[in-house]
Amino acid sequence: MQRMVGKVALVTGGASGIGRATCEALVRENAFVVIADINEPGAKAFADALGARGAACVLDVADEASWERAIAFAIETFGRLDFVVNCAGIGVNGSFEDTSLEDWNRVMAVNLTGSFLGCKHGVKGIKQSDGGGAIVNICSIAGVAGVDDIAAYCASKGGVSLLTKAVALHCAKFKLGIRCNAVSPTYTDTAMLDDVAQQLGGRDVMRAGMAELVPLGRVAEAQDIANSILFLLSDEASMITGTNLMVDGGQTAGFVGRHAEQ
């Protein structure tokens, strides 16, 4: 519980889902967190609940000026910046042929451009503090394997995966002391799946159907992903950079055999 003493993290999408669980995990490890979210009331309410270790900041991840303000706010509020976690993300589903250019651009703006700007300004902000730091981007198993009805999401997360590798190599090349990694979750039971649950006839039905596709037999919880993020930020992962960590219950490992009686 002492791995993050004195560290400061900015977490996008921090008011809900994986971002919120990540903020809670960081605070349990004695870090300070900036809850950066476009949902201002949600971010402020969560920061109030965290007390002195939390602060809220309005952030539109697709807007560069908004990122500049958020990084400055983190440093002004807590005196430094050590970590950036790019959790904010959106998705649209439906037939590829019916995907509108507007939806495509919106997904790319939040998921891919948002991660690019988070890495760019995160590196700059961390460089202002001593001791280096780390960046974690939230990717997806849909960034390493295609899914026919979420094409824009797949493309955006595939871009995040390679962006992560490029940023990691940049930081290593210039000896910045900053590591950059990604986490790729399987289906994770957060509010992002609310529309899917409604379409499939309820959350229990959705969870059961998705669990059948995961070798470990369940969907992920936000805390599962937050635990992996915490590890990649910590000194325990000091030799890990440019990695896309699969937190998928074995889903991308291959196929469960059906060639013999069990």
Q: Is there a domain that residue 205 lies in?
A: no
- Residue 214 inside a domain? The answer is no
Tens digit of pLDDT at every position of the chain (262 positions): 688 999 999 999 999 999 999 999 999 999 999 999 999 999 999 999 999 999 999 999 999 999 999 999 999 999 999 999 999 999 998 999 999 999 999 999 999 999 999 999 999 999 999 779 999 999 999 999 999 999 999 999 999 999 999 999 999 999 999 999 999 999 888 776 667 666 767 777 777 778 888 889 888 899 999 999 999 999 999 999 999 999 999 999 988 776 666 5
Give the angle subtended at the CA of 92 by the CAs of 104 and 135, to the nearest 5°. Answer: 80
Q: What local confidence, expressed as pLDDT, does residue 22 receive?
A: 98
Q: Rounded to the nearest 5 degrees, what angle is found at the Cα of 141, between the Cα atoms of 137 and 143?
A: 70
Q: Which residue has the tokens 């997806």?
A: 140
pLDDT, residue 193, reads 66
Residue in 46, 78, 83, 153 annotated catalytic = 153
| pLDDT at site 206 | 74
What CATH code is carried by the domain that includes residue 98? 3.40.50.720
Counting the structural domains of the chain, the total is 1
Residue 194 lies in a domain: no
Question: Residue 155's domain spans which residues?
Answer: 8-185+220-246
Q: Is 153 a catalytic residue?
A: yes
How far is the C-alpha of 146 from the C-alpha of 136, rounded, in Å? Answer: 22
Residue 129, both tokens: 């503090």
